[in-house]
Homo-oligomer: A and B are copies of this chain.
Amino acid sequence: MKNDRQQLEQLRQSIDECDEALLALLKKRQGFVEQLVAHKQAAGDAVFVPEREQAIFQRLTDRADFYGLDFELVRDILQRIMRDSYARQARIQRHISPQNQDHQPATQPHQQPQSAKSICVIGGKGQLGGFFVEQFRLSGHSVCVLDRNDWPNADQLLANKDLVLIAVPMAETETTIEQLSGLSDHTLLADITSVKHQPLQHMLKVHSGPVIGLHPMFGPGQSHMARQLLLYTQGRQPEASDWLLQQFRQWGCYTESIDAEAHDTLMGTVQALRHFVTFVTGWQLMANGQSLDELLRVSSPIYRLELSLIGRLFAQQPELYVDIWLKSEQAPSVISAFGDCFKQAEGWINKGERTQLINQFKQIADYFSHSNADFFQQSDTLLEAFRERIQSS
């Protein structure tokens, strides 16, 4: 029996030694990656290269097989290590760059002088605007900011720019565009509003030069843009925005072109309705006098995850969401359509119509089964990761 205990202790010690070796290895890898990034930055190369990542994973599939390891295990660990690399790179860059110095290029520009652009970000002291100001500077562009109080100097700030980027709150987009009639002919005018049709039409009317509508599908709380999604709608002279889209890709973004009206229709569902349902869900919990902590105590991981997604909404600025509901032309009709389905299903429940409910469920399941989405199975792994996270913290 005592021998057994000793053997158990020895095994535990061996496992601890493996973990120690793992840490040393992570540190060593980090050193090589930092050298690699320094090289890339000096050469102006993209830090995130999907093809290089894919090549690494392709090779690891074979190697995992060789060792008899689960490929998903190897992939998840490598992805986690790479994520750490991107975050570290972003921190290192920030540390190097001059803080709070407007109108100054970064000290470590990645751009060759001839490709550096002259940019004005309207609303560049806002959260997302400020994020782009920083990113443009880190990439060696010359950036100035036009803030609320700077309109008296607008002519000077906007003159002769390669890019004027509108990054003001949604409610101020229209009045901002109205003041941009005097831009230089070669200036590319762009916005990052969450609706695209109206602002794009408005920009095309006010400015006769190149125009593009952008919709970054991410918030300012990011340390980097690797793997983020940027939607864009061409307005006029698409060739004039090539460098800008290329810059986003160099930052690691995926870019997707979309028609302005199709964009707004999709966003009626993707943003307006979805956030609205989340809003009402939070409201109902509050109205019900439900204790969140008691709810959490008895919640499955999937519900804790859903609660955290609800809480995420309410941790942000109300205006962001309220203005999407009020500005989206599609919002009233999709919200009303949701309300109709809700009423009908509620009626079935109150009348105990089990067969109706089951048949409707099957129809919707059929609709979902026709998608190419292969990530339904992946939610299991994701939920397991989430369970580990909430219970170990």
Contacts and interface: CB of A to CB of B under 8 A. Distances in A.
A22 B292 CA distance: 42
Contacts of A304: 375
Interface string A306-339: 1111111011001101110110000110111111
Interface in A283-302: 283-288, 290, 292-302
Contacts of A386: 382
Interface residues of A, number: 163
A293 B67 contact: no
Given A39-B4, A386-B382, A375 B393 contact: yes
Given A36-B15, A67-B27, A297-B256, A381 B391 contact: no
A242 interface: no
Contacts of A218: 300
Interface stretch (A134-142, A206-214, A366-374): A366-374
Contact of A314 (B332, B337, B364): B364
A73 B80 contact: yes
A379 interface: yes
B30 A376 contact: no
A229 B297 CA distance: 9
Contacts of A273: 284
A20 B306 CA distance: 38
Copies of the chain in the assembly? 2
B266 A295 contact: yes
A269 B296 contact: no
Contacts of A392: 53-54, 57, 75, 79
B18 A25 contact: yes
A386 to B, nearest CB: 6
Contacts of A349: 276, 325-326, 331-332, 335
A388 interface: yes
Contacts of A15: 29, 32-33, 36
